[in-house]
Amino acid sequence: MKKELDIKKSDENSSEKNVDSSFDKVLYQSSIKEISVKVGANLDKGLTTDEAKIRLESNGANKLDDVKKRHIILKFIDQLKDFMIIILFIAAIISIATEDYAEGILIIAIVVLNAVLGVLQEAKAEKALESIQALSSPQIIVIRDGKEQRVDVKELVIGDLVLLEAGDYVPADLRIIESVNLKIDESALTGEAVPVEKIHEPIKKDNVPLGDRTNLAFMSTVVTYGRGTAVVVKTGMDTEIGKIAKLLAETETEATPLQKSINQLGKTLAIIALIITGIIFAIEIVESLIINGKVTPDSILESFTFAVALAVAAIPEGLPAIITVVLSLGMTNLVKQNAIMRTLPSVETLGSTSIICSDKTGTLTQNVMTIQKLYVDGKMVNADESLKLDTNTTKVIEYGVLVNDVKVRLEDKTIVKFGDPTEIALIDLGIKYNIDPIKTNSKFKRIYELPFDSTRKLMTTVNVIDGKTYAIVKGAPDVVFGRSTSFVENTNIQKFDKKAHENFMTANNNMADNALRVLAIGYKELKNNDDYSKYSFEDIESDLTLLGLVGMIDPERPEVAEAVKVCKQAGITTVMITGDHKNTAVAIAKKIGILGNNDLAITGHELDQMNDEEFLKKLEQIRVYARVSPENKVRIVRAWRSLDKIVAMTGDGVNDAPSIKQADIGIAMGITGTEVAKGAADMILTDDNFATIVNAVGEGRGIFANIKKAIHFLLSCNIGEIVSMFLGVVLGYFLFTTIDGDHATKALHILTPVQILWVNLVTDSLMAIALGLEHREPDIMLSAPRDPNKSIFADGLGKKIAFQGLMIGLLTFAAFIIGWYWGGMPDNYTEASRDASTMAFMVLALSQLFHAFNARSERHSNFKLKVNKKLFYAFLASFSLQMIVVLTPATRKLFEVSFPTLGQWGVILALSIAPLVIVETIKLISHKIQKN
C-alpha cells in the first residue's frame, strides 16, 4: 500500500506540470475493480480498523495544511510595537544613560512582563478556539470491518469506502463505485452552478477536464441529491482543492466587530490620553520656568518619562486581548452547555438574539417517533396489541419497511437501526408485528429508487414482489392524495373519488389534530425488467393506488415549555417553522406555549399568496409556519431582519442551509443535521435541543455583560490614575509645603513613572480577566435583548465609569494629602513626599482591586451575587504582589516607597475600601427608590 501511495504522490507532483497526470487518468479511466486494486480497497467490507490506523499514521490526516502560526517571538514583538511602549523604552534608555539605572531597568522589566502576559492571553485564546474547531470537525459514514461507522473526516484514508447522502460534504477526492440519482454541486471547485449527475462507469477519453470527470467526486463539494458509495483515492493536500490551497497566501485572522469597536475606542482614548498628558507635560515645563526661572534637561526628561508612563497607564492596551480571552473561554463554556459556537463574532451576536425560528421535529420534540395509529380499510386503528394483521394492514406495514432508507443490521441478536427517526418508526412498527426488516428487504429486492426531496415531498422505491414490479411511494398525505387515482379497501381496488378523498382527508386531519405526524403509503405496478432510470418522476409517482395512512407522534421535550416561557420573559419571540401538517404543528405549538390565542398559524402556501407588505403587517402575529419550502424559510428570516431584529434560525437538512446562512445566528443540529447545514451554521447543537438554544442565548448575554464589566473596570481605573496625577501636577505646588514654607522646585508627581506602570500591571490583567469569567446575573433573562446598534456605554455605563474614575482619583489624591501632613506640617520635603507617595501608591492600587467588585454588577449588590472564586484568587494574587513592594526592603528602595505606620495602614485600608462602600450604598439607595 505504501508503495502505491508513493507512486500516487509522484504522479501528483508531475501533474503540477501536466494537467492530466497518469494517475488522474487511472482514476477516471479504470474500472472499479482496477481502482480497488490500485488503492488497496475492499469493496465488500471496507478497510479494517487496524489497516486504516496504519495508513493514517503513514500518510497523515485528511486535512488541508493549517495556516502557519506566527512564532512566539514575533507575537512577543507584536506586543511591543505600540507607539507608547516604544516611547517608554526610549525614556527608559535615556534614564539608564543618565545613570538612573534602577528606574530605567525597572520600567523595561515592567513593560516586558506586561508583553509576556499579553502573549499568554493570546495563546490561551488560540487554544480555546482550536479546541472548539476540533469539536465541530465534520464527520462522514464509512464502511470498516464490514460495518457502517461515523468517523471524523480527517481520519479518512486512501482505500476507505464512503457512503454519500444528500447534505454531505464530499470529504476527500473519491471514485464513485455506486450511484443512485447522485448529484453533486461542484461550484466551489469548478464554478459550474448546476449540480453534476454522477456515474460509476469508467470514462475512456483522454485529458478530460475536471468538471467532466463525472465518476469522481472532489473534496469540499456538496451532495445535493441521491446517494452513492465511493472509494477514497486522494486525501488532504493531494486533493484537487488541496492543490488550490497550496497557491493561497497566508490569511490574516479578522477581528470581531466588538474587537474592532474596542480597537477604535482604544485609539480614541489614546488621543485623549495624549492630549491630557501633553497638557500635563506643558504645565510641568511652565511650572519649572515659574519656580526656577529655567528648564533643565533633567526636568524635561523626568516630565517626559512621567507623561509617557501616565499615557501608557491611561490606555487599556490589553483590552482587545482580554476580550478575545473572554469570548474564547465563553465559547469553551458553551460547549459544556451542548452548544458549539464556530466563530467569535457569533458569540457576540448570540446575546442580542430577539427572534428564534425553530424547527419542530427533534428540536422542540424528542425526535423519537412512534407510530400510534393507522388508517386502513376506511377505519382508524391503534397500533397496539389490539391491532389485527389483515391483508391490507400487513401490506401497509410491509411497504413502510421497504420504502425506507434506514440502515438495519443484526448485532448480538439485536437489530441495530441507523437513519431518520420517521423511517425508524416504520421499521419499529414492522419489528413490533414480527415483520423482520432484514428478511423483508432481502426477499423483496429493491432495484431502483427515487430519493426523498423537499420539493416533491415523496420517496419512492421500486421493488420486485412475488414476480411483479411495484413502485412503493410514501410521503406527505396531501401530495400522495393528489397523485392517487384509486385506493384499497377490504382487498378491493376502488376509484379515488371525491368521497374517498374526503374520508382520507378527515382521517388525516383527525390524526394531525392530535399532534400526530401523518404519512401516506401507496403503490403502482410497473412493467417488469424495464429501464426505470428512463422514467421521469411523473411517470413513476402518478396514478397511484392509496393503501393507507400511518400517524406517528414525536412528543415534545419536557424542558421546552419552560424554555419558551424563559424566552417570553427575555423579550425573545419564538417562531415554529416546520414541514409538518398545520394541525400537527398547531397542536404542539399550543402545548408548549408558542401559539397563544391571538397568534396566527399559516402554511407555506398561504405565505406564498401574500405580498411583502401584507406579510410584514402580519409578521409579528404569526407564530407557526407549516408545510414550508426552503424559499419560505429564507423569506421569513429576511422579513424579521428587515425590522432590525437579530434572528436565530435552526435547521438540519440541505434545504435549510440557505435560511441558516441568511440568519444572524444559524443553528444546525449536531445529531440529525447534515454536514451542509453544519457548514452553513454559526452554532451547532450537540443535543438538538431547543432548551440549549435558550440557555446559549443566556450565556451569550452573560459573555457580553462580562466584557462590559472588564471595560467598566479598566476605564474607571485608568481615569482614576489620570485624575490623581493631574491634580498633583496642577495643585501640588500650592498645597504641599514644609514647616519652613519650602515648595517643590519642580512639578509634583504624587507617583513615579515606575509606580504608575506597576499599578497598571498589577491591577489590569488578572482582575479584568476574572471579571470576564463572572457567573450570569440572576435576572439576565428578564430584560429585553440588547440593541446591537447601541454604544457599549449606553444606559448610564459611561456616567458610572466617569464618576467612579473620579472617585478613585480623588481618594488617591486625598491619601497623598494625608500622607504629606501625617503628624503635622512636615519639616523635610523629600521624606514627606516619599511618605505621601507611598500612601497614594497603595491606595491607588488597592482601591482598584476593591473596585473590581463594584464592576461585577451595575445593579446588584456583591453580597447577593454568586461567589466568583476566580475573582478572589486574582484579588489575592494582585494584593500579594502589591504588598511585596512595601514589605521587602529591596523593592521599597526600587519603588522609592517607605514602610507605612500602623495608623497609616488604617488610613490606606479605609480609603481603599471606600469605593466598594460608596458604590454599594448607591446601589442600595437606587434599589429602594426603584422599589418604592
Residue 554 carries which side chain, given as an amino acid letter?
Answer: D
DSSP state of 254: P
Tell me which residue has cell 385506493. 487
Whole-number CA gyration radius for the chain? 36
Cβ–Cβ under 8 Å, residues 405 and 423: yes
- Selection from 754, 900, 760 nearest residue 836 by Cα: 900
Cβ–Cβ under 8 Å, residues 417 and 408: yes
DSSP string, 574-640: EEEE-SS-HHHHHHHHHHHTSS-TT-EEEEHHHHHHS-HHHHHHHGGGEEEEES--HHHHHHHHHHH
**What's the angle, vertex CA 25, arms to CA 22 and CA 27, rounded to 5?**
115
C-alpha cell at 676: 451542509
**Integer Cα distance of 850 and 915 in angstroms:** 7
- Partners of residue 161 on adjacent β-strands: 143, 231
**Integer Cα distance of 561 and 582 in angstroms:** 20
- Selection from 153, 146, 143, 160 nearest residue 52 by Cα: 160
CB-based contacts of 527: which residues, under 8 Å, 6+ apart? 469
CB burial readout 6-32, b (16+ within 10 A) else e? eebeebbeebeeeeebebbbbbbbbeb
Residue 200 carries which side chain, given as an amino acid letter?
Answer: H
**Integer Cα distance of 877 and 897 in angstroms:** 21
Give phi and psi for 318, each to the nearest 5: -85, 0
- Partners of residue 764 on adjacent β-strands: none
- Partners of residue 410 on adjacent β-strands: 415
**How, if at all, do strands 414-418 and 446-453 pair?**
unpaired
**Integer Cα distance of 339 and 350 in angstroms:** 11
Return the active site residues. 359
Burial class of residue 501 (count of CB atoms within 10 Å of its CB; 0-12, 13-18, 19+): middle
Residue 570 vs residues 349, 355, 375, 591, 661: alpha-carbon distances, Å: 15, 11, 43, 20, 25
DSSP string, 822-886: TTSS-S-HHHHHHHHHHHHHHHHHHHHHHHHHHTT-SSS-GGGSPP-HHHHHHHHHHHHHHHHHH
**Integer Cα distance of 585 and 515 in angstroms:** 7
Burial class of residue 799 (count of CB atoms within 10 Å of its CB; 0-12, 13-18, 19+): exposed
**Integer Cα distance of 630 and 211 in angstroms:** 27
DSSP H or E run through 525? strand 517-526
Residue 284 carries which side chain, given as an amino acid letter?
Answer: E
C-alpha cell at 834: 516619599
